Structure 1
Amino acid sequence: MYRIENDLLGDLEVPVDVYYGIQTQRAIDNFNISGIKLYQFPEFIKALAYVKWAAAETNFELGLLDEKLKTAIVAAAKEVVEGKFDKEFPVDMIQGGAGTSTNMNINEVLANRALELMGYQKGDYQYCSPNDHVNLSQSTNDAYPTAIKLGIINSKAVLIQHLSPLIDSFRKKGVEFKNVLKMGRTQLQDAVPMTLGQEFEAFAANLEEEIERLTQNSNLFLEINMGATAIGTGINAAPGYAKLCAENLKKITGLAFVSAPNLIEATPDTGSYVIYSSALKRMAIKISKICNDLRLLSSGPRCGFNEINLPAMQPGSSIMPGKVNPVIPEVMNQICYRVIGNDLTVTMAAEAGQLQLNVMEPVLTFSILESMQLLINGMDTLRMKCIDGITANVEHCYEMVINSIGIVTALNPYIGYKNSTKIAKEALETGRSVYHLVLEHNILTKEQLDDILNPENMLAPKNVV
Structure 2
Amino acid sequence: MEYRIEHDSMGEVKVPADKYWAAQTERSHENFLIGVGIETMPREITHAFGILKKAAAIANHALKPEKMTDEKLAAISAACDEVISGSLNDHFPLVVWQTGSGTQSNMNANEVIANRGNEIAGKKLLHPNDDINMSQSSNDTFPTAMHISAVLAIEDKLFPAIDQLIATFKRLEEENEGIVKSGRTHLQDATPIKFSQEISGWRSSLEKDRKMLEIALPELKELALGGTAVGTGLNTPKGFDVEVAKAVSELTGKEFKTAPNKFHALTSKDEIVFAHGALKALAADMMKIANDVRWLASGPRDGLGEIFIPENEPGSSIMPGKVNPTQCEAVTMVAVQVMGNDVAVGMAASQGNFELNVFMPVCIYNFLQSARLLAESIVSFNKNCAVGIKANREKMHHNLHNSLMLVTALNPYIGYENAAKTAKKAYKEGISLKEACVALGFLTEEKFDEVFHPEQMV
Category of TM-score, reference length = shorter chain: over 0.9
Counterpart CA distance in 2 for 1:260 and 1:388 is 42
Deviation at 1:220, TM superposition (A): 0.7
Matches within 5 A, 1:226-375: 226-375=225-374
Question: What is the aligned partner in structure 2 of residue 449 from structure 1?
Answer: 449
Matches within 5 A, 1:80-95: 80-95=83-98
What residue number does 1:72 align with? 75
The residue number in structure 1 matching 2:416 is: 417
Match of 1:100 among 98, 103, 126: 103
SS at match of 1:407: helix
Cα contact 1:37–1:90 (8 A) shared by 2? no
CA contact (8 A) 2:307 2:392 kept: yes
Task: Decide which moves more: 71-80 or 317-326.
Answer: 317-326
Q: What is the aligned partner in structure 2 of residue 195 from structure 1?
A: 194
1:272, 1:307 → 2: CA distance? Answer: 42
- Rate the CA distance shift 1:286–1:139 in 2: closer, same or farther, 3 A: same
Please tell me the residue identity of whatever aligns with 1:261: P
Structure 2 residue 112 is the aligned partner of structure 1 residue 114:
no
**Count of matched residue pairs:** 452
Residue matched to 1:54: 55
Per the alignment, residue 147 of structure 1 pairs with 145
Tell me which moved more, 135-144 or 428-437.
428-437
- After superposition, the Cα gap between the structure-2 partners of 1:182 and 1:245, relative to the gap in structure 1 and judged at 3 Å, is same
- Which SS does the other structure have where 2:405 is aligned? coil
CA contact (8 A) 2:296 2:307 kept: yes
SS in 1 for 2:267: coil
- Superposed CA RMSD in Å reads 2.1
2:46 matched to 1:45?
yes
SS of the aligned residue for 2:181 comes to strand
Q: Report the alpha carbon displacement of residue 231 of structure 1 after superposing the two structures with TM.
A: 0.7
> In the TM superposition, what is the alpha-carbon distance from 1:294 to its structure 2 partner?
1.7
Q: 1:36 to 1:212 in 2, by over 3 A?
A: farther
Structure 1 residue 312, shift from structure 2 partner: 2.5
Choose 65-74 or 241-250, whichever is displaced more: 241-250
Cα distance, 1:155 vs structure 2:
0.8
Find the aligned partners of 2:82 and 2:446 in 1 and give their Cα distance.
Answer: 76
2:170 maps to what in 1?
171
**Where does structure 1 lack aligned partners over 5 or more consecutive residues?**
460-465
State which drifts further: 150-159 or 176-185: 176-185
> Could you tell me which residue of structure 1 aligns to residue 134 of structure 2?
136
Does the CA-based 8 Å contact 1:6-1:12 persist in structure 2? yes
* Structure 1 residue aligned with 2:10: 9
Q: Secondary structure at the match of 1:4?
A: strand
Contact 1:19 1:112 in 2 (8 A): yes
5+ residue gaps, structure 2: none
Give me the whole-angstrom Cα distance separating, in 1, the residues matched to 2:344 and 2:211. 24
Cα separation, partners in 2 of 1:81 and 1:450, compared to 1, 3 Å: farther
2:20 corresponds in structure 1 to 19
Say which SS state the counterpart of residue 422 (structure 1) adopts. helix
Q: How many angstroms does 1:292 deviate by? A: 1.5
297-306 vs 352-361, greater mean Cα deviation: 297-306
Residues 452, 458 of structure 1: 8 Å contact kept: no
Cα offset for 1:247?
2.8
Counterpart CA distance in 1 for 2:96 and 2:375 is: 19
> For the residues of structure 2 that align with 1:87 and 1:411, how far apart are their CA atoms?
71
**1:463 alignment partner in structure 2:** none
Corresponding residue SS for 1:191: strand
Any idea what the Cα deviations from partners look like across 1:64-101, whole Å, max 9, x if unmatched? 42221122112222232233323322221332241112
1:219 Cα shift? 1.6
Q: How far 1:412 sits from its partner (Å)?
A: 1.9
Distance 2:80 2:59 in 1: 14
Taking a change above 3 Å as real, the CA distance of residues 100 and 93 of structure 1, as seen in their structure-2 partners, is same
Structure 2: how far apart are the matches of 1:300 and 1:69? 67
- Counterpart secondary structure, 1:13: strand
- Pairwise CA distance, 1:11: 1.8
Q: Normalised by the size of structure 1, how large is the TM-score?
A: 0.91
Quick one: which amino acid aligns to residue 149 of structure 2?
G
**Letter of the 1:453 counterpart:** H
Task: Report Cα offsets for 1:219-245 as digits up to 9, x if no partner.
Answer: 211222211111112222223322332
Distance 1:97 1:416 in 2: 67
Tell me if structure 2 keeps the 8 A contact 1:137–1:237.
yes
Q: TM-score, normalised by structure 2?
A: 0.93
Instruction: Output the amino acid matched with 1:50.
Output: I
Matched position secondary structure for 2:362:
helix
Q: How far apart, CA to CA, are the structure 1 residues paired with 2:312 and 2:449?
A: 43
Q: Matches of 1:369 and 1:419 in 2, distance apart?
A: 57
Secondary structure of the 1:421 match is helix
CA distance, structure 1, for counterparts of residue 207 and residue 260 of structure 2: 34
Distance 1:109 1:450, change over 3 A: farther
The separation in 2 between residues aligned to 1:349 and 1:444, in whole angstroms, is 68
CA distance in 1, matches of 2:28, 2:446: 80
- What residue identity is the alignment partner of 1:394? R
Q: Is the 8 A contact 1:2 1:13 kept in 2?
A: yes
Shift of 1:454: 5.2
Fraction of identical pairs, as percent:
38
Q: Alpha-carbon deviation of 1:40?
A: 5.2
Query: SS at the partner of 1:182?
Result: strand
CA distance in 1 between counterparts of 2:78 and 2:322 reads 58
SS at structure 2 position matched to 1:284? helix
Whole-angstrom distance in 2 between the partners of 1:117 and 1:350: 39
**1:278 to partner: Cα distance:** 0.8
CA distance in 2, matches of 1:116, 1:16: 13
